């Protein structure tokens, strides 16, 4: 297995990397709304120490008092210091590679770009490269700590861009407080980058810097501390108002804090319908009102209110919404009690919100609350915004990120919160259930669907407002490209989905009482992939259908005890098995099992395929399939295959599930069937028959069995490319094949690996899956007369949908 890991390019996986990755991914959950960036700008007396981190109890504790500080320092200093590195995207293994990467070959793209400047996007990384730029004047809650001290934050931002949207980043820390010097430094770097993310720059300079750069640069410039919080909080506020039965145009809102984030929030809320006259803005000096002279700026003056209220307490009376972008503990329970019915409180200071979550709920049980913390519901987290906004902007080569694009991102997030949450997200949050409402207003940071929705909305808005230099012309195709960033399995399955949609079939699910099956059925219906048949009593499944908003008219529900065809199936099963001692009475008993009943439906033509095994062991599903459906004509044995996908490589392994110790004839049949499976996924099969021996190098019956299987395949299917017996490294590593076996048809490019027995095949696929990081589709049951596929126990809903789509395509082909 170490050979396979090495030759598939996975040898660099190490324990240290896994530990660091785990630590980093865990830390994402603690990311804040970034409202704490603005504390120094607002002039509040108590800046926050962001070395304090929220723990699971909801308390905060200084890192210096426990091991967290040491863990953070070790995380950043261990191994290669820092969190990022530059990795080549082109081969660099040979002298020719290097000659193409640098001189003399590099001159060619240089001349092409000189002739056509737009080709810089074609020949360089500009189109996927963002600069995260700061001068360190407002770093988190730490304030003006300097450019170098802010670098760990900028590296962290780079990691988030890459992790969530596959955007490459250079972090740039500029050692200047001079606004003109900063602007000029950024401006002259425009040829290098596709976009600019401004970060941790103090107000009011941040306003001037962004406005000036947007005016002179033809690439997106985005100050996340302003607009990220605005976009995410606006999505949450839109949904909170819907839950409360209120509208933007009617509500009275109080905003605590008057820095960059607060001003940006107000401007976006107004775009969504908030009336300016219904806003009271409060800073550390009190209400910002018309005529106030103390500590005013043009940005505060823009939102000065005509009001006699002067304190934050005054402002709260009768307010519908409070948005906190200021300091912890400044809001008291009595202030929340004075608000209107179903008050909305967004206390986004971090790590301590303006009012603790528990205090607000105790004061007003009808409160709808969000914070910047991950240990309470409705975390307003900027990571839901900037990676995906830039993804959409880069992909259409937008010249700016305008208000319409920001609004589109916010609306896309708000809409996504109303959709059913995938299993992968639930697992990331301890299988906690999320349903749209008071406690779930916006998606979670680990919701991969954000990548499929926000960039599309942003790119569409860019095109509609005329700032997209290369507008997306096919948004379905664009969404599929984005799905490819989430995982190769998604892209691979799209061809299968398209074929399934062309002629959907009836797929029966014996485990119709399982919630995952119901959720999968909903997707199959909505996507037009299949017509689900659920074997379950109606009174059992009706609540699940209602819970998941599945239209009962779009599914077939069958109670196997009262089904009108039951007696027909009983007689037919007894007929099929009478030579195995089965009587009609026996058949009545056997067909009380839903797996057997499902197979009889397919055998009788009342269904086109079966998907089972979610809660059952493999033999409990495959046994009735073999007894009733049997193998297709000309096939003696069924076998199981798994499709494994790595970055830049896809392979199919067999037999991973059925035949324990295959003969040469069985191995040959497995190879032929797996070649058919490969072609179903548009993979032209190049088959390697795996052994511990290379082409007769070891004389042993096990090796000779594999060689005999190769001879059988060549005789039966001479058009197939097949070699063996051969070792795994010779099958997948080109330099070994070319050096030692230059005459072999397989030159390290095998994509179908047939193993000599079930032990080796099953172990290989599981090790490659678990240690090699492969994405997996399967098990795909090969050789059945009609489609039957066995789920791995406990699989995700998406896996069930994938296998159902494969079953539909099987049924189409078997017609």
Question: Which strand (E) or helix (H) includes residue 723?
Answer: strand 721-726
Report which of 37, 172, 130 is spatially closest to residue 389, judged by C-alpha positions: 130
H helix intervals, 465-565: 475-486, 488-502, 515-527, 538-547
DSSP bridge pairs for 172: 133
Cα-flanking dihedrals φ and ψ of residue 808, to 5°?
A: -65, -45
Catalytic residue status for 102: yes
CA distance 148 to 622: 62
Cα-flanking dihedrals φ and ψ of residue 40, to 5°?
A: -60, -35
Catalytic residue status for 157: yes
How many CB atoms sit inside 10 A of residue 206's CB? 25
> How many whole angstroms from its chain centre is CA 438?
24
How many CB atoms sit inside 10 A of residue 13's CB? 11
Q: How many CA atoms lie within 13 A of 272 on its CB side?
A: 28
Q: Tell me if the bond preceding 104 is cis, omega within 30° of 0.
A: yes
Which of 83, 126, 157, 214 is the catalytic position?
A: 157
Question: Any idea what the Cα angle at residue 92 is, between residues 86 and 93, rounded to 5°?
Answer: 135
For residues 380 and 67, the answer to whether their CB atoms sit within 8 Å is no
Residue with tokens 């770093």: 139
Contact residues for 585 (Cβ-Cβ < 8 A; gap 6+): none
Cα-flanking dihedrals φ and ψ of residue 522, to 5°?
A: -60, -45
Q: Tell me if the bond preceding 54 is cis, omega within 30° of 0.
A: no
CA distance readout (Å), 31 to 54, 372, 379: 10, 8, 9
Pairing of strands 221-223, 195-198: parallel
CA distance 467 to 331: 42
H helix intervals, 222-342: 224-244, 260-271, 298-301, 312-316, 333-337
Report which of 302, 253, 83, 259 is spatially closest to residue 171, judged by C-alpha positions: 83
Residue with tokens 């959907």: 504
Q: If phi over 0 gives left and psi between -120 and 50 gives alpha, with beta otherwise, what is residue 692?
A: alpha
Q: If phi over 0 gives left and psi between -120 and 50 gives alpha, with beta otherwise, what is residue 430?
A: left
For residues 639 and 758, the answer to whether their CB atoms sit within 8 Å is no
CA distance 469 to 727: 51
How many CB atoms sit inside 10 A of residue 311's CB? 11
Pairing of strands 344-347, 368-371: parallel
**Catalytic residue positions?**
102, 157
């Amino acid at each position: 297995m170490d050979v396979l890991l090495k030759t598939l390019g996975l040898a660099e996986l190490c324990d240290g990397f896994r530990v660091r990755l785990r630590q980093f991914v865990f830390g994402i959950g603690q990311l804040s709304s970034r409202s704490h960036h603005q504390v120094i700008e607002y002039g509040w007396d108590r800046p926050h120490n962001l070395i304090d981190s929220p723990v699971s109890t909801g308390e905060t504790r200084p890192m210096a008092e426990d091991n967290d500080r040491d863990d953070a320092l070790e995380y950043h200093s261990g191994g290669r210091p820092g969190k990022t590195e530059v990795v080549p995207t082109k081969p660099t293994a040979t002298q020719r590679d290097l000659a193409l990467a640098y001189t003399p070959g590099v001159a060619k793209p240089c001349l092409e770009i000189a002739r056509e400047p737009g080709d810089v996007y074609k020949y360089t990384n500009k189109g996927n490269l963002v600069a995260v730029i700061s001068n360190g004047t407002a770093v988190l809650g730490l304030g003006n700590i300097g450019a170098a001290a802010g670098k760990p934050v900028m590296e962290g931002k780079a990691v988030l861009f890459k992790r969530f949207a596959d955007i490459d980043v250079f972090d740039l820390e500029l050692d200047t407080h001079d606004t003109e010097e900063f602007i000029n430094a950024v401006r002259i770097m425009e040829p290098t980058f596709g976009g600019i993310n401004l970060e941790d720059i103090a107000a009011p300079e941040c306003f001037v810097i962004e406005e000036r750069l947007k005016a002179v640069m033809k690439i997106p410039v985005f100050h996340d501390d302003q607009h990220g919080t605005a976009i995410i909080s606006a999505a949450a506020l839109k949904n909170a108002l819907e839950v409360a039965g209120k509208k933007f145009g009617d509500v009275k809102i109080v905003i605590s804090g008057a820095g960059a984030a607060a001003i940006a929030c107000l401007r976006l809320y107004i775009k969504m319908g908030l009336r300016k006259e219904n806003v009271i803005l409060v800073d550390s000096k009190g209400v910002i009102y018309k005529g106030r002279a103390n500590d005013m700026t043009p940005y505060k003056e823009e939102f000065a209110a005509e009001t006699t209220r002067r304190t934050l307490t005054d402002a709260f009376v009768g307010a519908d919404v409070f948005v906190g972008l200021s300091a912890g503990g400044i809001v008291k329970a009595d202030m929340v009690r004075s608000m209107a019915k179903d008050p909305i409180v967004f206390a986004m200071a971090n790590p301590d919100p303006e009012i603790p979550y528990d205090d607000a709920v105790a004061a007003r049980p009808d409160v709808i609350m969000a914070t910047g913390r991950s240990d309470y519901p409705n975390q307003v987290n900027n990571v839901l915004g900037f990676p995906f906004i830039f993804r959409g902007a880069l992909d259409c080569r937008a010249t700016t990120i305008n208000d319409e694009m920001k609004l589109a991102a916010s609306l896309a997030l708000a809409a996504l919160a109303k959709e059913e949450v995938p299993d992968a997200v639930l697992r990331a949050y301890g299988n906690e259930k999320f349903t749209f409402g008071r406690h779930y207003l916006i998606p979670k940071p680990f919701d991969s669907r954000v990548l499929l929705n926000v960039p599309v909305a942003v790119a569409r808005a860019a095109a509609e407002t005329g700032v997209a230099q290369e507008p997306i012309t096919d948004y379905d195709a664009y969404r599929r490209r984005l799905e490819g960033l989430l995982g190769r399995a998604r892209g691979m399955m799209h061809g299968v989905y398209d074929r399934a949609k062309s002629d959907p079939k009836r797929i029966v699910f014996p485990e119709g009482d399982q919630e995952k099956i119901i959720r999968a059925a909903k997707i199959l219906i909505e996507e037009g992939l299949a017509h689900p048949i659920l074997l379950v009593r109606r009174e059992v499944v009706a609540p699940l259908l209602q819970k998941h908003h599945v239209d009962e008219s779009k599914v077939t529900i069958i109670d196997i005890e009262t089904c009108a065809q039951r007696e027909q199936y009983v007689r037919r099963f007894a007929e099929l098995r009478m030579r195995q001692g089965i009587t009609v009475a026996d058949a009545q008993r056997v067909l009380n099992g839903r797996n057997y009943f499902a197979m009889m439906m397919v055998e009788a033509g009342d269904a086109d395929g079966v998907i089972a095994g979610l809660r059952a062991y493999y033999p409990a599903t495959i046994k009735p399939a073999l007894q009733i459906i049997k193998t297709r004509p000309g096939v003696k044995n069924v076998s199981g295959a798994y499709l494994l996908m790595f970055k830049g490589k896809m392979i199919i392994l067999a037999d991973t599930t059925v035949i324990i110790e295959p003969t040469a004839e069985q191995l040959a049949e497995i190879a032929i069937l797996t070649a058919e499976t490969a072609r179903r996924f548009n993979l032209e099969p190049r088959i390697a028959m795996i052994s511990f021996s290379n082409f007769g190098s070891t004389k042993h019956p096990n090796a000779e069995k594999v060689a005999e299987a190769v001879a059988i395949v060549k005789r039966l299917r001479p058009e197939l490319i097949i070699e063996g017996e051969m070792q795994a490294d010779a099958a997948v590593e080109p330099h070994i094949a070319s050096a030692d076996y230059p005459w072999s048809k397989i030159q390290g490019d095998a994509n179908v690996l047939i193993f000599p027995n079930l032990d080796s095949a099953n172990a290989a696929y599981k090790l490659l899956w678990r240690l090699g990081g492969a994405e997996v589709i399967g098990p795909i049951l090969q050789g059945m007369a009609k489609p039957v596929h066995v789920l791995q126990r406990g699989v995700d809903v998406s896996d069930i949908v994938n296998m159902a789509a494969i079953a539909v395509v099987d049924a189409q082909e078997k017609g």
